[in-house]
Structure 1
Amino acid sequence: MTNDIVISAQHVSKEYRLGVINHGTLYRDLQSWWAKRRGKEDPNAEIKDFARDKRERNRINGDLFHALEDVSFNIRQGDVVGLVGKNGAGKSTLLKIISRITSPTSGNIRIRGRIASLLEVGTGFHPELSGRENVYLNGAILGMSRREVASKFEEIVEFSEIGGFIDTPVKRYSSGMYVRLAFSVAAHLEPEILLIDEVLAVGDANFQKKCLGRMSEVSKDGRTILFVSHNMTAISSICPTSIFMNDGRVEGIGDSSDIIQSYLSSGQIGNNGVYSVPPEQLDGKAVIFHVAILDQDGLETGTVELTKEFSIAVCYELRESLSGLSVGLQIMGEDGYTSIYSLSDPELEPSRLDARMPGRYRSVVKFPMCALNTGAFYIRVGISSRFSIYSVVEGFRFEVSDSVGIIQMLGQSRKPSISALQLPWQIERQ
């Protein structure tokens, strides 16, 4: 490993042993028969039976799940690298191995420098200790003296915006407060390597913007950042280089704009404008099980006409009463930048605080004609409350076409832009 390489992964693989229930007794055979008679899930089915597609099933061998397979890459000092890929691609497993939370089954990762990790809410904090005590604890873990931590303490508290609660045990923090303090600690205690997972999405929009700004500042100091996110706009804005992971393998490494385009145009992205998964295959308090693009007649489609209205329908299930809910929708262009962002329940709407009862819901957002220009667009949908993200769906696309415009009649293509809205012009002879 040369002097400027701080993370070197060589043929890293990781396997997890799954709890497989086997039919081996009369009781289990009767249990499976009775479940089938009632139209219920087989409680003795192998985990492989619940994998949603063939590629997922291929990663399961008996009772072993191949989370990572033969992953190799090098990251140099001062690099800011994005890590993209669908859920289950192995991104979080890779970060846990780099953080030494878990060990690879084979291969090795060599690291040079102190690491600070922000992988999930709760990582690195002791719930019984106050925020102040956890700041000093994290500094000690990073090898810093009490004096060094004290010199950064006020800056950490100010950035986290939880000054009045710094002496409260963190077990009483909301998830948003937890993440604000955890990120502030990780970003201000000067680690050489900073690992950040999608956990930042728990924070509000303003704090996410602060975090991205702070990450840009940290990178200018020569520190290395490895950033996992489903937000392609964030990846594009702060990560010159990205790694695309798919089914536990590295599909590509290179310029972020090229990698994002490869990811969005890969076979993982559905082309028919529809996402659908049986809700019983999904875990969580709130799950999205169906998303569809609808034409002006309400029919599901993968292509909408520029000069006609269209809608996006989101079907989800709540397993318990939840308050502060909103369905968030992002529409991204082929460059990965967000074109449109919309919430079903606006943040400033008081009714958003009302509890929503368990059950299945369908939320539909309508778009006027010419809201989007011609081209391919990608969708990301999520259900969140003020402090938590419950379910995220991504990885499918639709197209906007123009078959009637005068530009097409002349054999020309439309000018590149986000929208094709026809704005009112007034023409007067002077």
Structure 2
Amino acid sequence: MIHDSQLEKDIILKAENVSKQYRLGQVGTGTLSHDINRWWHKIRGKENPYLKIGDTNDRSTKGNSDYVWALQDINFEVERGEVLGIIGKNGAGKSTLLKILSKVTAPTTGSIKSRGRIASLLEVGTGFNGEMTGRENIFLNGAILGMTKKEISSKLDEIIEFSGCERYIDTPVKRYSSGMTVRLAFAVAAFLEPEILVIDEVLAVGDAEFQKKAIGKMQDISKGEGRTVLFVSHNMAAVKQLCTRGIVLEQGMIKFQGNINEALDVYNSDSYECVTNVGWKIEDAPGNLNARITSVKLKSDNPFFLIEDQISLEIEYVNFIDNHSINCSISIFDDKESYVLASPNLQRVPLGKGTYRSVCVIPENLLNKGKYYFTIILVGNNFEIIAQLDKIISVDLEEEGTHRKDYFGYWGGVVRPYLNWENIQINRW
């Protein structure tokens, strides 16, 4: 139970010293001796010996232990009506934490205390029976959440309308696309009014229109209806728009918790290291038998990349066939995952075999101060995508500030060009 002192803050969910340990390797291999050892320690009143061993959850290094801590000493509180964003790199422990909060799996140590029903949307189709129709699955999920048939029936029309699956609602769910399944699952979870709604990256399966609807509904749930949302996503723009507070996980531990903007700054400072130059040998280069990208470089006249300087993006590639109409395109994203701009090279001239360089010039005073990530796409005949390098290079733009004159405040926006202004006197008096 949650104590009276916590009720004053209206704490609806609390995690206390939550840790989760997994054994690596094949399930069941060599565990009998471990089980006997655990039992022997238990009957003597001693602590489980395997809780003292185990490597941290770092996917980039090879550990020495058979055990790994997916989560370690997680402590936080969530107030009623709060929208908490849980962010971190792949493998940081986000999904494990949500499964523990949703009671899908139990923590190795620690406890979760909650007040009210928890509805979870963790993976596409979780909790759905593929042989049953969409309508039947709505009643099944409602029953799992503890709703009566009358309560579910009262919400049925709203759920079906929001999901956009009216035409297929009496069709078995196994015939649904992943997008349709997640639409229906979200509608069930949102409209059956749980006190706590837990959502993993699953919304990314939906199209842009549905994601916008889902975020709007989650805002209504938290602000209008005073219910609590826990949201995991790699879409930082959605996290910033929706969440009021954030937790940053790293290697199974909480690195930061607090204001969502500060949490995003902590996450973004670690997520990407700025790389302005990448290259490959021809045999290892990304592409196919028609062409390969051999290098991508950002260049500037200064050792530091400044807003006030022109930046050149150089893409070198090898063409292996004659009469090959190759063109390059770039897409630029900021550190909040916002799509800043895209620019294709429209000069589709047939090329002969050989090595080529395409140069894209980014004018001075266009992008604002901050980090930017560049996706490169190489397109061939019939608009075949030869290679797509997502966020392959990045740059941290600084500002010299010499053009600001006496103004030193923050200049908002993703782009901040100097536009042409003209002062015109209309009359004189």
- Which TM-score applies when normalising by structure 1? 0.69
Q: Following the alignment from structure 1 to structure 2, what is the Cα–Cα distance between the partners of residues 88 and 136?
A: 34
CA 1:396–1:126: 2 relative to 1, 3 Å: farther
% of aligned pairs identical? 42
Contact 1:407 1:413 in 2 (8 A): no
1:49-72: CA deviation from partner (whole Å, max 9, x where unpaired)? xx9x99435684433232111111
* Aligned counterpart, 1:376: 370
Any residues of structure 2 matched to 1:187-198 within 5 Å, and which? 187-198=190-201
**Does residue 124 of structure 1 match 2:127?**
yes
CA 1:380–1:230: 2 relative to 1, 3 Å: farther
Any residues of structure 2 matched to 1:159-178 within 5 Å, and which? 159-178=162-181
CA 1:343–1:203: 2 relative to 1, 3 Å: farther
**Does residue 241 of structure 1 match 2:245?**
yes
CA 1:75–1:183: 2 relative to 1, 3 Å: same
Aligned with residue 227 of structure 2, among 192, 212, 223:
223
- Pairwise CA distance, 1:406: 4.6
- Count of aligned residue pairs for this structure pair: 347
* Aligned counterpart, 1:11: 17
* Aligned counterpart, 1:338: 338
Contact 1:116 1:191 in 2 (8 A): yes
What is the one-letter code of the residue matched to 1:271? C
CA 1:97–1:328: 2 relative to 1, 3 Å: farther
Helix, strand or coil: the match of 1:133?
helix
1:26-85: CA deviation from partner (whole Å, max 9, x where unpaired)? xxxxxxxxxxxxxxxxxxxxxxxxx9x994356844332321111111112221111111
Contact 1:127 1:169 in 2 (8 A): yes
* Aligned counterpart, 1:421: 417
* Aligned counterpart, 1:355: none
Any residues of structure 2 matched to 1:215-364 within 5 Å, and which? 215-220=218-223, 221-266=225-270, 268-273=271-276, 294-295=298-299, 303=305, 306-311=308-313, 331-332=333-334, 336=336, 338=338, 340=340, 342=342
- Pairwise CA distance, 1:274: 6.4
- Pairwise CA distance, 1:180: 0.9
- Pairwise CA distance, 1:396: 8.1
Contact 2:133 2:172 in 1 (8 A): yes
Q: Following the alignment from structure 1 to structure 2, what is the Cα–Cα distance between the partners of residues 12 and 54?
A: 15
Q: Following the alignment from structure 2 to structure 1, what is the Cα–Cα distance between the partners of residues 210 and 396?
A: 33
* Aligned counterpart, 1:155: 158
1:369-421: CA deviation from partner (whole Å, max 9, x where unpaired)? 43312x222449699xxxxxxx9977985222456x7527x697585133132
Q: Following the alignment from structure 1 to structure 2, what is the Cα–Cα distance between the partners of residues 290 and 197?
A: 37
Contact 1:113 1:191 in 2 (8 A): yes
What is the one-letter code of the residue matched to 2:20? K
Contact 1:382 1:392 in 2 (8 A): yes
* Aligned counterpart, 1:115: 118
Q: Following the alignment from structure 2 to structure 1, what is the Cα–Cα distance between the partners of residues 359 and 110?
A: 48
Q: Following the alignment from structure 1 to structure 2, what is the Cα–Cα distance between the partners of residues 60 and 342?
A: 42
- Pairwise CA distance, 1:237: 1.7
Helix, strand or coil: the match of 1:243?
strand
Q: Following the alignment from structure 1 to structure 2, what is the Cα–Cα distance between the partners of residues 290 and 77?
A: 53
* Aligned counterpart, 1:29: none
Contact 2:179 2:206 in 1 (8 A): yes
Contact 1:198 1:230 in 2 (8 A): yes
Contact 2:298 2:311 in 1 (8 A): no
1:270-295: CA deviation from partner (whole Å, max 9, x where unpaired)? 13346899xx9xxxxxxxx9996633
Helix, strand or coil: the match of 1:13?
strand
CA 1:428–1:205: 2 relative to 1, 3 Å: same
- In the alignment, structure 2 segments of 5+ residues that lack a partner are 28-54, 285-292, 318-328, 345-357, 378-387
- Pairwise CA distance, 1:192: 0.8
Helix, strand or coil: the match of 1:101?
coil
- Pairwise CA distance, 1:13: 1.3
Q: Following the alignment from structure 1 to structure 2, what is the Cα–Cα distance between the partners of residues 125 and 98?
A: 20
Q: Following the alignment from structure 2 to structure 1, what is the Cα–Cα distance between the partners of residues 122 and 376?
A: 19
- Pairwise CA distance, 1:125: 0.9
1:185-214: CA deviation from partner (whole Å, max 9, x where unpaired)? 111010111001111111111111111110
Contact 1:117 1:196 in 2 (8 A): yes
- Pairwise CA distance, 1:307: 3.6
Contact 2:57 2:252 in 1 (8 A): no
Q: Following the alignment from structure 2 to structure 1, what is the Cα–Cα distance between the partners of residues 62 and 12?
A: 30
Contact 2:57 2:68 in 1 (8 A): no
* Aligned counterpart, 2:288: none
- In the alignment, structure 1 segments of 5+ residues that lack a partner are 22-50, 281-288, 316-326, 345-362, 384-390
Contact 2:331 2:339 in 1 (8 A): no
Helix, strand or coil: the match of 1:187?
helix
